[in-house]
Amino acid sequence: MESPMSEGRDFWWDEEIVAADIANDCRPEIMDAEDPLFILYTSGSTGKPKGVLHTTAGYLVYVMQTFKWIFDIRDEDTYWCTADIGWITGHSYIVYGPLVNGATSLLFEGVPNHPRPDRFWEIVEKNRVSIFYTAPTALRTLMKEGNHWPAQHDLSSLRLLGSVGEPINPKVWMWYRETIGQGRCPIVDTWWQTETGGIVISPFPAATPCKPGSATLPFFGIQPEIIRSNLDQTTLEEGGWLVIKRPWPGLMRRVYGDSERFKKTYFAQFPGVYTTGDGAKTDEDGYFWIMGRIDDVINVSGHRLGTAELESVLVSHASVAEAAVVGMPHETKGQGIYAFVTVKTEVLQRDDLIAALKQQVRSIIGPIATPDKIQFAEALPKTRSGKIMRRVLAKIAAGDVTNLGDTTTLTDEAVLEDLIRNRQ
Ligand code: 7RM
């Protein structure tokens, strides 16, 4: 097709590039290893955002190596990470990691379900994508719409799948594995944070035996540990604080402009280790299971329950698409359990579904975990990176709706009205 060129406004790349003296006009700047590379502000569930600062050499070494080994990148691959570039996942695994490895990488600006819920699969087919990295929130959105959408596309180019951002519910993991990966592709469930710079707990594809819902084992050089409030190591299956004992090249260097806050947030509660803020447990194989943010743990009559496990049990019901669980004030138990649930597109919201869901949690986790209230929601409040904003939901559950706190990172304000209106 002819391009309508406008004199003085449009130029041909091939003509301009030969005329440019790249070696002299655009010289690389030599940086010191510890020079700042970028600052990324974390939304921070409470208080004002923190400027997480990463530096040049360590960060680049770390994202280069994790990208190379966890995504097993090869010359013939076409890699696609669906994240927003403004999120750390976009920084590390769209910009720096793929570029420093010279990978062929697809960039996409858009959402998974527009114009139709097969947008991702259409792009995979058209570009013969071989490595695909996305978030559980996107997978749940697409799974909800039914298998006929991926079924319309040739997904045979895929050879490796990745997940990041939230715990992936086992049911969603199985769907990813069977329906998208067609039982053929390994899945890497990658646990990490803005602060860690790159992936710190993850399987190596096809080398680490997987368990759906576990990010499995630490990357080389990473020494995670799970501890109690008194610093003792936890026993098997006992939930506790996830900390990392030794530094690594990708660890953030400081909170921009606030070294006190850096120390206080990550190194004060447990001196000598990096505190992640997540709760976790290990099983008999030493595999790590992330339980959710420690601040979101619910304490029912002295029993501490992580959000991830409760939500995964709700999601395992055939009618349920997504679930978010929060604590609510309760007279006798201290905290009660309030669950927000979205159902699959064709499912009607019925009272007997509430009873079935309560029964399911009761029989799988135990009577103590039975939700006190279940509310059907049209959608859940999420950040731009797809994380459920449980802090906002906890306020709604408590009936404290006049001040929902900082909702600047919320993607869609309209979601709140439905949630408040239908409060149980
Ligand atoms: C990469 C990113 C960090 C928080 C982290 C966790 C949660 C991220 C996983 C996960 C379970 C995962 N950076 N999280 N990945 N939980 N399994 N694979 O998300 O700074 O935006 O968020 O996200 O709670 O602390 S982040």
Backbone angles phi, psi at 199, to 5 degrees: -65, 130
pLDDT tens for residues 113-125? Answer: 999 999 999 999 9
Q: Give me the pLDDT at residue 45, please.
A: 56
Give the tokens for residue 230.
């008194």
**Length of the chain as a residue count:** 424
**Is residue 61 packed enough to be buried (19+ CB in 10 Å), middle (13-18) or exposed (0-12)?**
middle
Residue 81 CA, ligand 1 centroid: distance in Å? 15
Would you say residue 28 has pLDDT above 90? no
The residue behind tokens 């790249």 is: 22
Instruction: Indicate if ligand 1 lies below 6 Å from the C-beta of 89.
Output: yes
Weakest-pLDDT range from 131-135, 243-247, 302-306, 333-337: 302-306
Strands 334-343, 373-376: pairing is parallel
State the maximum Cα–Cα separation within the chain, in Å, rounded to a whole number: 77
Strands 274-282, 240-244: pairing is antiparallel
Radius of gyration of the chain (CA): 23
Would you say residue 332 has pLDDT above 60? yes
pLDDT tens for residues 253-277? Answer: 999 999 999 999 999 999 999 999 9
Rounded CA gap, 293 and 162, in Å?
21
Rounded CA gap, 81 and 98, in Å?
10
Q: Ligand 1: which residue has its CA nearest to atom 1?
A: 193
CA distance to 128, 282, 283, 336, 419, per residue, from 52 (Å):
35, 28, 32, 35, 32
The atom of ligand 1 lying closest to the CA of 194 is: 20
- Name the band, by pLDDT with cuts 50, 70 and 90, for residue 355: very high
Rounded CA gap, 98 and 70, in Å?
12
Q: Ligand 1: which residue has its CA nearest to atom 26?
A: 193
Q: Which of 267, 244, 254, 252 is nearest to 88 (CA)?
A: 252
What is the overall mean pLDDT for the chain?
94
**What is the average pLDDT across 273-291?**
97
Q: Give me the pLDDT at residue 410, please.
A: 78
Backbone angles phi, psi at 352, to 5 degrees: -70, -20
Q: Ligand 1: which residue has its CA nearest to atom 22?
A: 193
Instruction: Indicate if ligand 1 lies below 6 Å from the C-beta of 192.
Output: yes
Q: Which of 180, 175, 119 is nearest to 155 (CA)?
A: 180
Give the tokens for residue 236.
């098997």
Beta-bridge partner residues of 140: none
Q: Ligand 1: which residue has its CA nearest to atom 17?
A: 167
